[in-house]
Every structure is written in structure tokens, then in C-alpha cells.
Amino acid sequence: MKSFASDNNSGIHPLIMQAIIDANQDHAVGYGDDEWTAKADAIFRQLLGEDVQPYYVFNGTGSNSLALQAMTRSFQSIICAATAHIYTDECGAAAKATGAVLKPVVTPDGKLTPELIVRELHGLGVQHHSQPGVVSISQSTEMGTVYTVEELTALCDFAHAHNLYVHVDGSRLANACACLGVGLRELSRNCGIDLLSLGGTKNGMMMGEAVIAFHPEWNDRLMYYRKQSAQLYSKMRYLSAQYIAYFQDNLWLKNATHANAMAAYLAGQIRNLQGVHFTQNVEVNSLYLILPQEVIRKMLEHYFFYMWDENTNEIRLVCSWDTTKPEVDAFVERLKTILIQSSIQ
């Protein structure tokens, strides 16, 4: 049975699985000196600029840690939302990799703004205080919200004016692009971000992320830090071949668009049910809502999903590239039944 817990739980898209199988022929030079990696590199350059060099890694934690290591020095701090994955769900990996301090900022919707960031810009030039170095954001955020092009550009302009770099955790960047109807470059480099962690695991890939610096002088750092952090895969073709299929015929965008559409459909079916209270706007493929505790308990007997805040009975539901309308309908009918039973009791 498919769950609504996370897009990490979804399977691999058949076209991406086929790309892995197709790459599994004969021998190929290891560590990225193969034809599949060269082709994937060329695709990234077409999408993001001829001067970029993607660095393929295994997973999101490795991607974020590698990116932030290249961007910071140990006496600096990394400003992020209090809900950011690097702060809440990566076991301190970013802090360990960089030596820098993470400065979490409480936000109502997971999005940082210049007004929120400026509060952390103190103790500048004082040796007793860590020095702000990087703003790290997630796009889309851990609350299922999206930075618009205008918001992201304004944030980058503000950061650069205060000598800060901007890192984007793009594990769900495809969903943000689908939401806004813009391309990868329009929602990354053109907005002024400095370094991108671009994921595909949540959107149909088996594994893998690409770390892409928009400052070519950082490429040497990324190359060596990737090796030191055990993220350099010897059989690189199985990582890079996925991206070839991922970008062919806009599969990345089709997958994300479908996941977003299923989340919007699910939200539309349950939004007006008595006892259902949404806490965030539904912009991408995740929903955040409050249900009665007893209803949550009974739904968990049939479906797997995560509690987001046990104190308020807030849950998170996530749709994936392979979520179907009948699966959503079945979930909705089960929820309606349990809500009715709960109200009768």
C-alpha cells in the first residue's frame, strides 16, 4: 500500500530505472570519467550555464553538508529557518562538516525574509562572536511553501549587500518550479543564489543529488571536500545516468507537476470537512493540517504518515510522482468515515 508519509517513500520512475539498466553495460572508467557523467554534465550546462560543474553525491545530507563546507569558514554562522532540514533532520551534519554555528530563525511559514535575517546580523567584526556567512534556505520549504522569483531575488540581493552567500537546499526545487511555472535557472541562478543542492530522490530518482556552484572558483573546494566526505562514488555512471533520463522530455517537471496536482486535489477534497484545519497554504506536494487526536490514531491504522507537531495534532501528508487519484479518493473516503464515526461517539 502506498503511504502519504513522504515522497522519499515512492518508487523509482520506470524511465529512470531503465537509464540505470542501460548504463549497466561493459566496464566504464570510475569516479566520473565516463560517458554518462559527461552527458549529464552537458545537460546541466545547457540548463544552468556553460561555466557550471555538477558534483554528484549520494543524498541530501551529503549534498547540503558539502555545499555549506565550500561556502563557509569555521568561525562563521549559517542562518536558516528553524524548520530547515539542515537544522532539524540531519543530525548536526552541517555543523560537523563546516565547524560553523547554525542560527535557526523562527518563521510562520518556513520562509526567511530580509526582515528576519537582519536580526542575526550582529557582533560583526567582534572576535567573541561567530560571523554571519551564509543564508541557507529550502525551496520548496519544509512547510510546503514556495519562495517566488521576486522573494528569492530580494533575499539574495539583501544577503549579498551584507556580504552573505545564499545556499538553496533544492531537494524539492522541481516542485517549486512546477508551482510557479518557471525553469530551474529562473528559480536559482537568475535569482542570485550562490550554490545549489539539487535533488531528484523525492521526484522519481533512486538516489543522488547534484551540488552546483555559481562561483566557478569554488569547484576545487567541492572536488576535494566531496572525496573527504565520502560522497565520491566510484561507479558514478549509475548516479549521473539518472539525471539524463530525469531531464529528458522534462520528466523532472512532469513528475513534480503531477505530485503537486495530487496534493491540490487531496486538499480540495478534505478542506471543508468538519474537524480538518489547514495550517499552511498548499503550494507544492505536501499538506499540513490539524485533525482530532482520535481521528489521527484511527487513520494511522490504515495509512502511514508523520506527525508534524504532537502538541497541536498537526500532521503532514505528502503526495508523490506516483500517487494516483484513486489512491487519494480511497484516503479521503477513509477519513470521512472516521470523522463521522468520531462525531457520533
Q: In the chain, what are the domain boundaries? A: 15-249, 251-344
CA distance 269 to 188: 33
CA distances to 175, 183, 214 from 145, rounded to whole Å, are 10, 17, 24
Tell me if residue 278 falls in helix, strand or coil: strand
**Tens digits of residue pLDDT in 26-47:** 999 999 999 999 999 999 999 9
The reported pLDDT for the residue numbered 162 is 98
Could you tell me which CATH number the domain at 251-344 has? 3.90.1150.10
The average pLDDT across 329-340 equals: 96
Q: Structure pTM?
A: 0.96
The reported pLDDT for the residue numbered 186 is 98
Scored b (16 or more CB within 10 A) or e, 187-205 reads bbbbbbbbbbbbbbbbbbb
The reported pLDDT for the residue numbered 189 is 98
The reported pLDDT for the residue numbered 342 is 82
Query: Which residues lie closer than 8 Å to 137 by C-beta, 6 or more apart?
Result: 80, 81, 84, 111, 112, 147, 152, 155, 166, 167, 168, 169
15-249: CATH, from 3.60.15.10, 1.10.3720.10, 3.40.50.300, 3.40.640.10: 3.40.640.10
Whether residue 345 is predicted with pLDDT greater than 60 in this model: the reply is no
The reported pLDDT for the residue numbered 1 is 65
* CB-side neighbour CA atoms (13 Å) of 58: 11
Residue 278 CB-density burial (10 A; 0-12 exposed, 13-18 middle, 19+ buried): middle
